[in-house]
Structure 1
Amino acid sequence: MVLSSLNSCIGFHLDEHRWVIQICSTLEEEVEEDVQIPVSVFSVPKTWLSNKPEAYIPELFALGPYHHWHPQLYEMERYKLATARRTQKKLQSIKLHQLVEYFIKKEHMIRSHYHRHLDFNGETLAWMMAIDACFLFEFLRNYSNAEGKVFRKVTTMSHMVDAARMKLAYNCILRDIMMLENQIPLYLVRKILRFQCPSYQIADEELSNMLIGFVKEVSPFEVMKNFSSIDVKNYAHLLQLLYFMIVPKAMESIGTINKTEVHVDIPELKETKPMCNPNYVKQLFSSVWRQAPGLKVMEVLAKRPIKFLEKIPWKIISRLPGVSILVEKIFSFQGEKKSEDEDSTDEPPLVEKIMIPSVTELSKAGVKFSPTEGDLTTIWFNSRTATFYLPTVSLDVNTEVLLRNLIAYETTVELGPMVFTRYTELMNGIIDTEEDVKLLRQSGIILNRMKNDEEVAQLWNGMSRSVRLTKVGFIDKVLEDVNKFHSSRWSVKARKIMKTYVFEAWQILTFLAAILLLLLTCVQAYCSVYGCGSRWDHAINAGLE
């Protein structure tokens, strides 16, 4: 026992001493002070990981340091090593270890991209990045001059997987490569290509060609028609490149203006509840009188007794302790239930739900949907023609992972307005059922390559909500215009009135009508036994006087 304690104490002091040496060597390193590299690879928030971990944790391959030592991923390391051997044969006059030496010199730049502390020494990190960069480079080469179908690209990677599982493996690899925690710096791939090309210019042109083909293939939006080349030096990794192809960098200035000058209040679709008003009782008696002329009791009772009941001072009676409590409970039951539901919500106050009708409800109100070819800046609503313009989005088995990681990137990295997250909240708001998806598919806004429309509806409804407040001026303006148009329609107003004063009040009306009919039945029974005659008229006249 004493010996084990002594060994642990010695081990602790050895680790402590090694830590001090590492800190001293880090401080003595000559780092390029003028080079500032922003962090571009963050960890996915734990709340999202617990909700759907398979969307953020790689299934086959680990790229970069975050998941490198996971046992279930390390089995595929031999494929990456095979890729590195093939890449080494294509290098002109250098060996792979010379590339590793270059990466060791750029260790501080590599570490700067990652938010999490990397517990590797410089040589280990350099070899890891060299092998992963070779694998990513060979994968991207499949998209050079990409004009064919996906399956043709898969066949060029047949050395990695069995032919029967080729397409499935391609989808798994593609999902892993686009995950936020699986990103590696693009300039590492650029350096490998530079060793195979006469100059950086030729290397950048070839890499740009690869990236254009890659983005065309994986992007759910038509975003590459106006791009003939990509400046690879401006993007840290693949996920950032795809994000700025969908959300142009020009949106940053728009977002700054919105944050400082534009404040859009989105009207909520609240419904007015009937208030506790004694006049409702009079209206009920009048309604019963008009609707039940054929009742036998009306032959017994004259009009004056009903008028007497209408003239009873219900306002005074409703103020009595017992009656006032009963009436208040009846009329405010639904309102209290709603407030209790609102108070019981678990969501933090900064998480905002978009208040907008579904596609089906908007279609019934006369709204038409039209597709646009472009990025998210093409979203708008034409109030004059009642046309809702949305970019065409193509959905397949890889789309959910891609969308979730784009949201994770935007939330953790970008400091400006969360345009893409707001777009997913918009789609979540207008899509509730498969009927909504069907209408958007028929309009050409959704290209469904999934199993069915219900699966698409589940995809949008299952999207993680933002962990911070999202305000995007042009999308919020669209929401305001759509809600304003929808609320102004007479058909919508009629449905609200029916829902508020008829459908939601039927329980109260049924209860009061039952009491009234019971009272009238008692009066009828009394009159049939004892007779009312002139005594009843005399009592009513006395009451009216």
Structure 2
Amino acid sequence: MAGAETSASGDSFNKLPSDCCIFTVPEKLRKSNNEAYRPRVVAIGPYHHDDPRLKPMEDHKLWYLKNFLQPNPNRHLKDYIRKVMSCEHEARKCYDKHIDLSPNEFTEMMLLDGIFVIQLFMMFSNYQSLLPGDRIFGKQMMLNDVHRDMALLENQMPFFIVQQLFEMASGTHQQPMPGLLELTCRFFRLEWAMESEVKHFVQVKHFVHAISLSFLPLVRKAPNGSNKEMKFTPSAMQLAAAGVKLEKCKSKRLLDIEFKNGALNIPSLALYDTTESFYRNIMAFEQCYCEKRYLTDYMDFMHHLVDTPSDAELLINKEIIENWLSNKEAVARVINALGEENIVSRDHYFYSLSEELNNHCSNHWNEWKATFKRDYCSSPWVVISVIAAVVLLLLTVTQTVCSVLSLK
């Protein structure tokens, strides 16, 4: 995992401290869909702290804090304030911009946001702990918006602050509590990744970082040693025309795409209304912070695989894409939008796979076989008709030969 100095978004990042991990989204990425990076209902951290649209949730944070302190008689508000204030300097270094807040203001913001996150995660994990009249869990749309906002790159706070507050609070509980990482995975629905990726999560910087770690492949491929530029992956329709079988594989890891024995096995990709915002922010984080851009490479691969609505329809029919959008046109639009304006390196994760698929499609024998199967083997009746025609042709040839021989 590289530091901020490896960012591709400009020379200005070279001057950032090595601890910097929370970024404002570069203009190049946000110009096509600025709203994908802006919170709707809640501000976490300083970048959207003064947004008047988000002020109503600030009162809710105070309510969460009040309820958080009640069952903890051994911990007082001043204890939490002291803890956060001791980390103020370290926390400020996590941001790529100067935070124009006094030490007291910064500490108050971090404390309110940290307790809000802890309360939110705990209630999401255990609905029996819901507070009566809670405005977030009382409305599914509000919960969906909060869930979306928590996964925005500009809407983050350092994970270590939340962790320290959580450890202070959990020490006062009689019953065993799930760890913060476990609660994080439950909230962002990453339970499937938690067990195998726990070794990576100990280094988590914030929640978008935690989500990005869940996409890491279990087996890392060797770096691409070729100096050749990567060829565009053929579209789904082109692959089908060349005889490639498009099949849904069982893996839940999006990067587990495999081409074997003429079949391209692809994990299912679910598309919802919030999908574009969700993936855009993870990719923005990869562009700013990560040396290996796994999700960016995946979306680039899918961007070329889904070139038109017809490609989208084919993948929907194969259950490779789980479509919760309006139609196939919307699917193609979202996937193509996610594939644009991304910086793709020569060390592309799917470089070798793209080479294999292009080589397969350039072999005319594969295309001929696919055409023959499609036109003449599409159903048992067509096969019977073809066989009958061949038999009839053979009989005709045989009869003609016999007639010629009898004349001699």
Amino acid at match of 1:239: V
Specify whether residues 107 and 50 from structure 1 end up closer, same or farther in structure 2 by C-alpha distance, changes over 3 A only. Answer: same
Greater RCO (CA < 8 Å, at least 6 residues apart): 2
Amino acid at match of 1:198: G
Q: Report how far residue 440 of structure 1 moved.
A: 1.4
Specify whether residues 445 and 101 from structure 1 end up closer, same or farther in structure 2 by C-alpha distance, changes over 3 A only. Answer: same
**2:181 aligned with 1:181:** no
Conserved in 1, the CA contact under 8 Å of 2:30 and 2:37?
yes
**Deviation readout 1:427-462 (Å, 9 max, x if unpaired):** 111112333222212323212222322221111011
Corresponding residue of 1:236: 205
Corresponding residue of 1:453: 328
**2:387 aligned with 1:412:** no
**2:7 aligned with 1:132:** no
Amino acid at match of 1:84: L
**2:345 aligned with 1:364:** no
Measure the CA separation in 2 of the matches of 1:197 and 1:356: 50
Specify whether residues 131 and 50 from structure 1 end up closer, same or farther in structure 2 by C-alpha distance, changes over 3 A only. Answer: same
Q: Report how far residue 157 of structure 1 moved.
A: 8.5
Measure the CA separation in 1 of the matches of 2:109 and 2:345: 37
Q: Report how far residue 425 of structure 1 moved.
A: 0.9
Specify whether residues 123 and 464 from structure 1 end up closer, same or farther in structure 2 by C-alpha distance, changes over 3 A only. Answer: farther
**Deviation readout 1:29-83 (Å, 9 max, x if unpaired):** xxxxxxx962110110113322211100111111000110111222321111111
**2:88 aligned with 1:111:** no
Amino acid at match of 2:105: T
Conserved in 1, the CA contact under 8 Å of 2:215 and 2:254?
yes
**Deviation readout 1:214-255 (Å, 9 max, x if unpaired):** 232xx5xx942754957754201111011011124864xx46
Q: How does 1:327-338 map to 2 (within 5 A)?
A: none
Measure the CA separation in 2 of the matches of 1:249 and 1:491: 32
Measure the CA separation in 1 of the matches of 2:169 and 2:199: 20
Corresponding residue of 2:134: 159
Measure the CA separation in 2 of the matches of 1:41 and 1:249: 26
Amino acid at match of 1:465: E
Q: Report how far residue 263 of structure 1 moved.
A: 3.6
Q: How does 1:1-400 map to 2 (within 5 A)?
A: 38-144=19-125, 159-161=134-136, 163=138, 166-198=139-171, 205-216=178-189, 223-224=192-193, 226-227=195-196, 233-248=202-217, 251=220, 254=221, 257-258=223-224, 261-267=225-231, 355-372=232-249, 373-382=251-260, 385-400=261-276
Measure the CA separation in 2 of the matches of 1:376 and 1:464: 15
Measure the CA separation in 2 of the matches of 1:158 and 1:364: 57
Give the secondary-structure state (helix, strand or coil) at the position aligned to 1:188.
Answer: helix
Instruction: Indicate the percent of aligned positions where both proteins have the same amino acid.
Output: 24
**Deviation readout 1:110-160 (Å, 9 max, x if unpaired):** 112111111112111111000011111112113436xxxxxx799879512
Give the secondary-structure state (helix, strand or coil) at the position aligned to 1:76.
Answer: helix
Amino acid at match of 2:119: E
More helix by share: 1
Give the secondary-structure state (helix, strand or coil) at the position aligned to 2:157.
Answer: coil
Larger radius of gyration: 1
Measure the CA separation in 2 of the matches of 1:125 and 1:486: 58
Measure the CA separation in 1 of the matches of 2:365 and 2:234: 15
**Deviation readout 1:145-180 (Å, 9 max, x if unpaired):** 6xxxxxx799879512595xx121112111111000
Corresponding residue of 2:316: 441
What residue ranges of structure 2 are gaps of 5+ in the alignment? 1-16, 370-408
Measure the CA separation in 1 of the matches of 2:228 and 2:128: 47
Give the CA RMSD over aligned residues: 3.1
Specify whether residues 245 and 491 from structure 1 end up closer, same or farther in structure 2 by C-alpha distance, changes over 3 A only. Answer: closer
Q: Report how far residue 209 of structure 1 moved.
A: 2.6
Conserved in 2, the CA contact under 8 Å of 1:357 and 1:430?
yes
**Deviation readout 1:395-441 (Å, 9 max, x if unpaired):** 21221111100110000111x23221111011111112333222212
Measure the CA separation in 1 of the matches of 2:192 and 2:61: 31
Measure the CA separation in 1 of the matches of 2:177 and 2:198: 9
Amino acid at match of 1:359: A
Conserved in 1, the CA contact under 8 Å of 2:215 and 2:294?
no
Measure the CA separation in 1 of the matches of 2:142 and 2:299: 28
Specify whether residues 412 and 168 from structure 1 end up closer, same or farther in structure 2 by C-alpha distance, changes over 3 A only. Answer: same
TM-score by length of 1: 0.59
Measure the CA separation in 1 of the matches of 2:229 and 2:176: 49
Q: How many residues align?
A: 352
Give the secondary-structure state (helix, strand or coil) at the position aligned to 1:236.
Answer: coil
**Deviation readout 1:83-114 (Å, 9 max, x if unpaired):** 11111223341222321121111111111211
Measure the CA separation in 2 of the matches of 1:99 and 1:155: 23
